[in-house]
Structure 1
């Protein structure tokens, strides 16, 4: 039996690990089943790539084979992304593999309802419930965008509300990592996403950025607040043109009691130009004061499930962050920790720099990440070793693809940790800004990167040759990435 003939069925034992129970539904690309994990007995969701999708049978054999290669690659990428994203609002990966030639992904089963079903049953929503859904969505998106990963198919059907009210993003099937070396799996000329929730740049087949998700999020939030999308979905004709050219009316036109700050936020989320939209972190910051708080009463009218519950009744014990790796410190006579050991930190920096020079940040670079706040607090902002710790931590994060966290550290170095205007300081500042621009390239900020690359070239021209060479080496690497971005999609699209 091969992938073209295998059909999942109740009772099937998948890869010796998951026993299928019942079908949860199928779409154009995948079929999802409820299953029981044999070893532990927990219920999981198992998602199979469909080789029997109707759209495939419209293709000739050569086209069908090519399309299946793309779908298989995209399915593997989804498994990889789920294994990287760590947030309660994103389904975590339990396992992946192939059964009878058909790829599968096993993940957390979200018991609840889709946001589409929830909105159909509860319309209009109380303001507290609408904001609670949006706050939880923003938190999950912020996690994805930090990597950075763009979901590209945000819509009510791809958002779940579990029985406890927690909001969970699902279906990262067409999500895209924004690394410069990320493989493209979509043929140019095909628009990904769902009608009615597409950003203008998706309709124009332009490169997506995290602000693409913000537009789709804005469409959903508008519907949460008003009971209707910003542009009606009924008419087939003209919808794309409305998303491209027509300014939506503020949500307050259709629903009373919407605070001015939320009204303004939604309008900005729906800006036609991506750079005019707020980042999702700003969305979360703006919404937080309007969300339910611990001890608040249940909203009226009641909804089932209640998305305000996780905010009104947080868990008794919140998950504890992973502790930073231990570094020996000097101790007082009472045994209390007093200060970090200077020589040990220098040795740790040397080890981390060796890992980074080899392109393989490991344990030492990871330990530096846990020390950035502490060294700055204990030693201040002018000690060179503080800057060295931050630089090593930032470089390690950049190399492993955590561009959001790396960018924050590079920005901190540029703002506070480089002092003086001598040749060495000017060179170091140029390199840090180039690395910051490299991180922001992953978020689609091309114009800013062009400005930084040009400025670094002018800086290098005024430096002694031995110092200028380091700036030029980094500038050349960033410029090459920028050139690749500006070249746009090649034979395969986003």
Structure 2
């Protein structure tokens, strides 16, 4: 992609200096001519990727921009604008003035352990907000973290971060997992299901690097690095720096657990464990860009924020007769324009009034509830979608039986929510409970859904560290898909890559 300095994007953003470049895009400093401020502009060229993958990149880009814009936290770079111009997609972000954490570490060797604690605590606050959406960053590393002039830490690129939807667990078209090998959790390395626990492992790698001066696992090849992540224990940092507190070493080792279930439950819990290790208030550590300076605890995450459902929209007052038909038409218009968040609010607001007017079990209310759940899913609001889907599944099963296809579909989508909310054990249990129903209907259209449930089971087993069971599940699935759909089916190739990757790393 050839882009010149001085070019103006959409008549507003004047490109100034190229500060980053990759295979499909560039990042520039730029000037917002309308508001007279410096910004950062990311440019992507989907046409650099062939065919359907270009459409997928565009879809991901729009979704990333919309969902990232929902995260409100001072430690995350702010999204100002997004759109397209010609063949290019653009994302306009806050310009962050400071040093990236990799350079900051290089300039301060050894890195004060109090600084490492302060950086990690601020990152926990950011991750708590990000995971509440839910988003998994999937590429947390020092180059994606800036230390600003006032000592506060800002997380930059959510470029490979993704809402936890159906394709986040799949390998890329090159057959490799997304992310940076040195910071990659074992489940991510194996192409398994990712979740908040994946970012916590990367945080452990980053903390180990700040405290010891190097990542815990390195090597001459990406495969060698990933093999060490999977099978070697990390070196305790106190062997290199005895002045590091024992509690801090223990936390780093816990974050670096191979099994996600042995890591802290959340970024919130990790923050609380770091809190006693933070520098005493009012005692400056000295030096420029001191990351201990902000700690009067202004950026602490809200307690249990990630587990608290978003507030429901208020119901229409009883005195007003709701215009249900008009609301449905408005929702259709908004969805057609891609204004999903606004459509969600209207649906959530009209549901209680419609139930009062027509009855909770009326066809109109059931239709609205289905639309509400589907729109919440599309908007990435899985925490709010989950109880709606469970309600729909139970209601349908009570009428038509547990094996009713529509009830099973609602349960399947509820399992997706659990997976995307970073609850792999609960999601795995639900998928396993569903599988016999689909295998008993192992014909025609039901076969594809059966295949997908089995694929998800395999990836969740990888995420939970049971690689032998995952290998067996995926190998059997590959055999059945090839027998029923032929060797050219896309799922056969995808599973082959996963099994090959699994075999290489195990070898």
TM-score (norm 2): 0.65
CA distance in 1, matches of 2:316, 2:114: 48
Residue of structure 2 in register with 1:381 after alignment? none
CA distance in 2, matches of 1:244, 1:364: 44
Compare 131-140 and 359-368 and name the one that shifted more: 359-368
CA distance in 2, matches of 1:431, 1:8: 51
CA distance in 2, matches of 1:400, 1:178: 11
Residue of structure 1 in register with 2:305 after alignment? none
Evaluate the alpha carbon distance shift between residue 22 and residue 477 of structure 1 in structure 2; reply closer, same or farther with a 3 A threshold: same
Task: Tell me, yes or no, if the aligned pair for 1:356 and 1:396 is still in contact at 8 Å.
Answer: no
The question of 1:77 aligning with 2:60 is answered yes
The question of 1:122 aligning with 2:108 is answered yes
CA distance in 1, matches of 2:126, 2:109: 24
Evaluate the alpha carbon distance shift between residue 19 and residue 235 of structure 1 in structure 2; reply closer, same or farther with a 3 A threshold: closer
Partner-residue secondary structure (3-state), 1:196: helix
Residue of structure 2 in register with 1:146 after alignment? 132
Deviation of 1:287 after TM superposition, in Å, equals 3.4
The question of 1:176 aligning with 2:162 is answered yes
CA distance in 2, matches of 1:455, 1:117: 50
- Pick from 448, 453, 466 the counterpart of residue 482 of structure 1: 453
Q: Deviations over 1:434-457 (max 9, x none)?
A: 775341122465553343356689
Evaluate the alpha carbon distance shift between residue 224 and residue 449 of structure 1 in structure 2; reply closer, same or farther with a 3 A threshold: same
Q: Deviations over 1:317-348 (max 9, x none)?
A: x9xxx99866699xxxxxxxxxxx7x88x989
The question of 1:134 aligning with 2:120 is answered yes
The question of 1:21 aligning with 2:16 is answered yes
Evaluate the alpha carbon distance shift between residue 453 and residue 96 of structure 1 in structure 2; reply closer, same or farther with a 3 A threshold: closer
Deviation of 1:116 after TM superposition, in Å, equals 0.5
Task: Tell me, yes or no, if the aligned pair for 1:20 and 1:34 is still in contact at 8 Å.
Answer: yes
Alignment RMSD, CA only?
5.4
Deviation of 1:67 after TM superposition, in Å, equals 5.1
TM-score (norm 1): 0.66
Deviation of 1:21 after TM superposition, in Å, equals 1.9
Residue of structure 1 in register with 2:146 after alignment? 160
CA distance in 1, matches of 2:343, 2:323: 6
The count of residues paired between Structure 1 and Structure 2 equals 428
Residue of structure 1 in register with 2:355 after alignment? none
Structure 1, unaligned runs of 5 or more: 52-63, 330-340, 371-387, 460-475
Q: Deviations over 1:269-308 (max 9, x none)?
A: 2122334333433543433523648x812442x2421223
The question of 1:46 aligning with 2:38 is answered no
Residue of structure 2 in register with 1:308 after alignment? 292
Q: Deviations over 1:28-82 (max 9, x none)?
A: 443221111111111110122379xxxxxxxxxxxx9645874674366245313
CA distance in 1, matches of 2:322, 2:343: 10
Which structure shows the higher helix fraction? 2
CA distance in 2, matches of 1:139, 1:244: 28
CA distance in 2, matches of 1:272, 1:23: 38
- Pick from 15, 32, 46 the counterpart of residue 27 of structure 2: 32
Residue of structure 1 in register with 2:80 after alignment? 94
Evaluate the alpha carbon distance shift between residue 139 and residue 412 of structure 1 in structure 2; reply closer, same or farther with a 3 A threshold: farther
